[in-house]
Structure 1
Amino acid sequence: MTSKNSTRRLSIFNRDADDTVHSITTTEALIKWEEERGESARQAKVIMLNGHYPPIHIMDHSLGKLIRCEKLSLSTNMIERIANLNGLKHLKILSLGRNLITSLAPLEVVSDTLEELWISYNSIQKFDGILTMKKLRVLYMSNNHIKEWSELRRLSAISTLEDLVFNGNPLHDEWKKDEESWIDTVHKLIKSLRKLDGLFL
């Protein structure tokens, strides 16, 4: 059965006559990127593969060659699993919004360098994988599936976190009628925050 998130992702891509959406791996996407730009992805500091067509489905071993990459955007694709980021030793900004991702656990491999994670509009329920981040300042994860205060409280372990976008999660939806109390409560839980849901604290 196709999930609501899957349906939403499929709807933004053109389908062929038999209603099939063709997807590719990062290997194919990077080959196309290099051909279009006439440069090596290995030397690039910024790689933008967001909204790719055909959509990217798999983050494969090809990402390992992005040894100088500081910003990688894979948003608005059909990625289900984060993988193969081990070789990105200089990665600072990672954009994975609007995919089909359910787990952040594979992000532990970039915990020493990652400063910004954009992962809104996915299906994240737990913060496993980012709680040991040493430099994470920005976390955009609106419209995911965080339901419990106990889970949100875990973000206090990230002492560098300053900017959090969290609206659209089930936990936030319960507080829509009392936004002021929501902001106050979250700030008490995560004292390092300077900005919440676009508002300065």
Structure 2
Amino acid sequence: MKESTSVREAIRQWEEEFGQKAHEAKEVKLIGLYPPIDKTDPSLQTLINCEKLIIGDTLEQLWISYNQIEKLKGINSLKNLKEIH
């Protein structure tokens, strides 16, 4: 049995469920997956129009250099977040 879902697979599942291409979407929800995503990968870079990415409250590290960190909303609710890069 798989221990985790890859971001690529999660995006594919989202596209199937919503009948939309993820790279065109402004909001992508990658939550409620079993097995869950255990780490991100370069597949997130395909979400070029995404303004709202939902990946649950288990996030421990957020690597978003070159983004406008000061504009992040709700970052305080990520109780498991340990590092921002």
Shorter-normalised TM-score: what interval?
0.7 to 0.9
Runs of 4+ off more than 4 Å: none
Q: CA deviation at 1:59?
A: 0.9
Q: Percent identity?
A: 33
Q: 1:123 to 1:65 in 2, by over 3 A?
A: closer
Q: 1:51 to 1:109 in 2, by over 3 A?
A: farther
Alignment partner of 2:65: what SS?
Answer: helix
TM-score of the aligned structures, taking structure 2 as reference length: 0.78
- Quick check: 1:69 aligned with 2:50? yes
Equivalent in 51, 66, 80 of residue 122 of structure 1 = 80
CA distance in 1, matches of 2:42, 2:51: 18
CA distance in 2, matches of 1:61, 1:114: 23
TM-score of the aligned structures, taking structure 1 as reference length: 0.36
- Quick check: 1:98 aligned with 2:58? yes
Aligned positions of 1:1-201 closer than 5 A: 22-75=3-56, 97-99=57-59, 101=60, 103-104=61-62, 106-111=63-68, 114-118=71-75, 119-122=77-80, 124=82, 129=85
CA distance in 1, matches of 2:25, 2:81: 30
Q: Which has the higher contact order (CA 8 A, sep 6+)?
A: 2
CA distance in 2, matches of 1:52, 1:37: 15
CA distance in 2, matches of 1:46, 1:23: 22
Q: Which letter maps to 1:71?
A: K
Greater Cα radius of gyration, structure 1 or 2: 1
CA distance in 2, matches of 1:114, 1:26: 24
Q: 1:38 to 1:108 in 2, by over 3 A?
A: same
Alpha-carbon RMSD across the aligned residues, in angstroms, is: 2.5
Count of aligned pairs:
84
